[in-house]
Structures are given as C-alpha cells and as structure tokens.
Structure 1
Amino acid sequence: MYGGIDIGSRTVELVLLDEKGDISIKEMVDSSYNPIERARDIVSDNEIKHLVATGYGRYRAQAGFADEVISEIKAYSISATHHYPKTRSVLDIGGQDIKAISLSDGDVIDFVLNDKCAAGTGVFLERVADSLDLDIEELSQLALEYEGASVELSSKCAVFAESEVISLLHSGASRKSVAQAVHDSVVNIVLGQIRKLEIQGPMVFGGGVAHNRYIQKELESELNYKVLTPEYPELMGAHGAALHAYQKTKSR
C-alpha cells in the first residue's frame, strides 16, 4: 500500500491507497501530547511501500519513519484536483489555521496562510459550542435555523469573542442568534483571507470545518461560485500525500 500521513497540532490522519490508487484504509486520531509517537503507532500497524508525510510534524516524521515530505499546500492541492479536476482554488479550515490556495491546471499559483490567531478556525467554533453547551453539529444547525434580526460580533479575536458570546446571552440574545453571529464572524474572517488572492471557482473546501453546512452555504452565496466538499474533507492532507506516494512510486 501507499501511504500519506498528516501530522497536525490537534489530530493525526493516515490514508493508505491500494494498487489501484483507491483508499483502502483511513484513520484519524487525536495528536495528544506526542503527535509523532501517535503517528508512528498508526503507521507501524500497516505494511507501506512508500510513506509521505505532511503537516507541521512532517520533518520529524521524515527523521523517524516517513520516506518523503511535502507541504500541506501541495498535499491539499493534489487531493482537491483528484476529487474535482476542474477546481480553481482550495480552502482549508482546520483546527487552528486557515489556508487558501489558487490553482491553474492543478498547479499552485499562490496561497495565503493564517496560523497566528484561532479566530475563524475549528477550535474557535468548538470553544463557542462548549460555552453554549452544544456540540459542533448542534451549533451549525442553530445557525441554519435562525431567521431573525442579525446579531454581530464586534471582536475578531477568538478569546474576546468567547467573552462577547457570554455577554450577548446575558443581555437576552437567543442561542440561535448567537450561533449564527459566530458563524458569520468565521465566514467574514475566511472571506478576508480568500480575497487576498485572485481566487476563482469552483473551490474545494477541506478540513474538519468543511462539514459545517452553514459556512459552506454562506461562502457559496458570498463568492458566487460552487464550493465543493469531498466525502472526507478532514483527510485531504493525508489523501494528497498518499496520492503523491502512489504517483511517484508508479512512475519509477
């Protein structure tokens, strides 16, 4: 089999492809306090001909057990164009960062990365959901259901926004209105990143936040083009790395 492993700050994902290039095995585990050991554990259970690592822990993986490394930008682009060959851009909203990538015929033209602030990322949505005693899916559903007057979060900082959410609830705002305000804040932050590039559609949306139907719907509405989500958006980094391993080995 041919493997790709994405070692992130919060999770480790492994994708293994068979001789036809189809996904045979997929795993995702929490990084815990030692993501490299977690990665080594899930790799050691499988027989892999060529393993490519990506993510922030890729170089440590290469020193220990991976055969090769590629950037997350390249991994996401490979997976995106595999799923949707005509895609012109990629958006990844992960646990702690946002990546926007512009493509031409599958090649990376430009990209922007926001990893300095948690605002607009998965961890921000998780914190807000916890403060509302909800899970992520429930938070998204409340945002979809709300049809009243808009409530706005003034803070662009994840820490201050959490405090603002509590203040809004104490002032009488409904959980649905606050849920929608939080999602709109994420959408606006993401749009700010996307608009730093000359990005065109269709766009492939990856990362765990891509499961969020409200955010996907609002992005499509604001961008005026299709925002496409693969079956396993949270595995796109590992999948792209595995495809690179497969293609490189087969071309020898």
Structure 2
Amino acid sequence: MKRAFVTGAAAGLGRAISDRLIDEGWKVVGHDRDEGEHVAIRADLVWRDAVDQALGEAIAAGPFDLVVLNAGISATGRFETIPAEAHSQVLAVNAEAPIVLANGLVRSGSLNDGAHLVFVSSLSHFVGYPGAASYAASKSAIAIYARSIRKPMKRRGFSVTLACPGPMRTTQAARHAPPDARAEKRMTAEAAARSILKAALARRFLVVPGVSNRAFSLFGRFAPGLATRVMRKIIYDKFDRSVW
C-alpha cells in the first residue's frame, strides 16, 4: 500500500486530496491543527516547536510515496489594519513550515524511491493579491522554493510539483472573500484535487487547475500591471473588513 503525508487534511483541498487518495487505495497520514477524519498528526504550524513535532511524527509514520504540503492560512483586508503578528503567522504556516517539513523528510530518508513532493502555492503567484499581500508573498516564496529544489530532488529520484489553484468553494475561501463574492463560480476542492494529483503522479512540475485559472495566470504573466488593477477592482476595493 502506498503512503501519503498530507498537511491541512481536515477540510478543503487537503481533505479532498486525502479522500481521493484513500479511494484509490492509498494509506493517508493527515496533518491539521483541527480534528478531522484523516488527521493523525495535530499541530499548529504557526509555532516552530509544533512544526518540529509534526515532522517527528511524520518521520515515524513514513516512509512516504507522496507528500502534499497544503496547509495554509490567510490575512485579508487593508494591509495597515492587519497586525504584524498576523502577517508573521501567514508567512510561518505558508512558507516556513513546508520548507522545514520537506527538508526534514528528505534528510531523514522518509521518502521512498520515486516519491513525489507537492507544494501548494496559489494563483496569486502569477497575478498578485491586493488585500492579501502577506498571503501572496508566502505563496510566491514557496513557489520559488519548489522551482529551486526541483533539479536537486530529481537527482535524488524524487519529483516536485507546484500546484497553483485559484479560489475554491471552501469555508476558508468564503471567510476571506469580499461580501458579494459568488461561491458557485469557484472551483470545487474535489476538482482541484483531481487535477493536482494527476499532475503530481505524472511528474509534471506546474499545475494550475481549471481552464479559466490557467488563462488568468497567463494574463498575470504577460500583463502584470493590468492584472493587478483587475484584482484590486474585484477584490481589494470590495473588502468591508479585515480577517485573520
């Protein structure tokens, strides 16, 4: 039985990825700060000692054929109204924790030959995210990290996949969305999970789930200024509160 380690497995994309893997016969060791059906390791990745705890428990539960570093948090609203601590926590969970976990799993020999590493970034890596600057910064940081370790990992026999999903129909997305956002227009977590796992197991590096999201990522790369203005209009200008 192949084994997978999935962070942020209690809900949303992490839950959808875990469900799909289990349906396909995988053993899933899930992590989250909250309780959940697939959660075997509970730790709040805001704190470094909790990251180290999660790493130790994951090493004990391995080795793994697939690691999906998905756990993430956000802070949205007017940048200056969000406390510095909230920005620091976003960077800790979204960027520092997956780097520490990936490094620790590789160094400890907790990946089987031919294993796959998946880093979950965001569509914001290509288009920016006015109103969630620290979130966008953290997701771009992990994207650049994934690109940087791709070749070294390949020499070790591991593949790296960078997943950049757009907004999804999840509780977290709803919590951080502007008040008039239409959830039915967002991609489901299940559809994103299918796309990400298909790419990872095929050893593709980049996956942007959804045709419209792929189009918007190209828009952001070729017309970054205009894409940022569009994002500001549809998101930042509509925020009526700050959430973290």
Query: Shorter-normalised TM-score: what interval?
Result: under 0.3
TM-score (norm 1): 0.26
Larger radius of gyration: 1
Q: Which has the higher contact order (CA 8 A, sep 6+)?
A: 1
